[in-house]
Amino acid sequence: MNIAVVILNWNGKKWLEKFLPTVIKYSPEANIYVADNASTDDSVSYVQNTFPQVKVIQNTLNGGYAQGYNQALKAIEEPYLCLLNSDVEVTENWLVPILALFEQNTEIAAIQPKILDYKNKACFEYAGAAGGFIDKFGYPFCRGRIFDTVEKDEGQYDDVSEIFWASGACFFIRNSEFKKHKGFDERFFAHMEEIDLCWRIKNSGKKVYYNYKSVVYHVGGGTLNSSRPQKTYLNFRNSLFTLLKNLPETTRNSIVFKRMTLDAIAIIKYLMTFKFGHALAIFNAHMAYYQNKQSFLQNDIKNDKNLNYYLVESIVRQYYVSKRKQFRNLIKN
């Protein structure tokens, strides 16, 4: 087998019961692994007893998405990897177009399929949709999803094209590239680590692609619901870490300062809508940025070559001020 499908699990027996049979049925090209992050439910015994063909990797602790995959993938040797959330339903022949694209273009390091909403299959799903981008200040958005506006899938993104980041919900990558870049940054714990990895991949000269011919359906919020302040904290903190790591030194400080000013506006918005936990989460994310700034600067290499990383200068301005709420209506730089 040339590809490993690796499902990271933490107390997710209900998702494995629901979706693992379909992954097995529609993935004859793959070896399938469940990487368990020290679950306290009976996930591991369930998989071992019910699906003996699935290989189980048992991590010693719950280090989140980043550390969990880093630990599990050390033992996997297949040339291509699919990092698949446990709350994803795959479709027939979903791996075939991905493998073909990898074989056709050796410059492609990572690929994302079309990700639709399991709860509303006519629409894109929040976490990835039809491929991700960031603006100048590090705010992520997708073809098919900008902030809380999610588009219906009408074939408008039925293409094979280069994107900036591929969603961690269903993330295909060459094993050699994952190991070359030392995997995910474990300091992120969860959220935004795939954007950081994709940025590092692009800075090295390789490409990230989207392929609409492969389709999956994502439940979303299966491990950390969007209504929880902890998710807000991780997203805002890790976005700042991503800028700190990957921006060239000549522009880093000014861009981060402007980003934090925009975050302050988000704090005010949350306060005005009585979402005090989310406002505090952003404040705490900024504190964590200052506390950890020096370690990121000391440990990561800066790259001055890639200054054209962003598709639009400010997705916040386009969405909230100019009311451009769909990707196709954005005014690109």
pLDDT tens-digit map of 198-257: 999 999 999 999 999 999 999 986 445 567 899 999 999 999 999 999 998 888 999 999
pLDDT digits (tens, 9 = 90+) for 134-186: 999 999 999 999 999 999 999 999 999 999 999 999 999 999 999 999 999 99
Integer Cα distance of 136 and 309 in angstroms: 8
CA distance 27 to 33: 12
Q: What is the pLDDT of residue 222?
A: 46
Answer left, alpha or beta for residue 64, where phi above 0 means left and psi between -120 and 50 means alpha.
left
**Confidence at residue 304, expressed as pLDDT on a 0 to 100 scale:** 56
pLDDT value at position 330? 96
The larger pLDDT score, comparing residue 114 to residue 308, is at 114
Render pLDDT for 269-326 as a digit per residue (tens, 0 to 9): 999 999 999 999 999 999 999 999 998 886 555 555 556 899 999 999 999 999 999 9
The pLDDT value recorded for residue 307 is 64
Tell me the CATH number for domain 3-218: 3.90.550.10
Mean pLDDT of 16-20: 98
Helix (H, G, I), strand (E, B) or coil at 265: helix
Residue 298 has what pLDDT? 61
Residue 59: is its pLDDT beyond 70?
yes
Q: What is the mean pLDDT of the chain?
A: 94
Query: What does the domain layout of the chain look like in residue ranges?
Result: 3-218, 229-329
pLDDT of residue 161: 98
305's tokens: 């070559």
| Residue in 88, 114, 94 with CA at minimum distance from that of residue 29 | 94
Residues whose CB is less than 8 angstroms from the CB of residue 5 and which lie 6 or more positions away in sequence, other chains included:
23, 27, 30, 31, 32, 33, 82, 84, 95
In this predicted structure, what is the pLDDT of residue 241? 95
* Helices 229-246/193-203 angle, 10° precision: 10
Positive or negative, the CA dihedral 306, 148, 278, 261 is positive
Could you give the residue ranges of the DSSP H alpha helices within the chain? 13-25, 43-50, 64-73, 96-104, 175-180, 193-203, 229-246, 249-272, 276-299, 315-316
Closest among 166, 186, 226 to 59, alpha carbons compared: 186
Residue 3: predicted pLDDT: 98
Average pLDDT score over residue span 104-116: 98
Question: What average pLDDT score do residues 38-55 get?
Answer: 97
Dihedral over Cα of 10, 140, 182, 170: its sign: positive
Task: Output the pLDDT for position 185.
Answer: 96
Question: Given this model, what pLDDT does residue 1 score?
Answer: 83
The structure tokens listed for 324 are 């451009």
Angle at which helices 276-299 and 249-272 cross, to 10°: 170
State residue 100's pLDDT score.
98
192: closest CA among 255, 138, 152, 118? 138
With H, G, I as helix, E, B as strand and everything else as coil, classify residue 215. Answer: strand
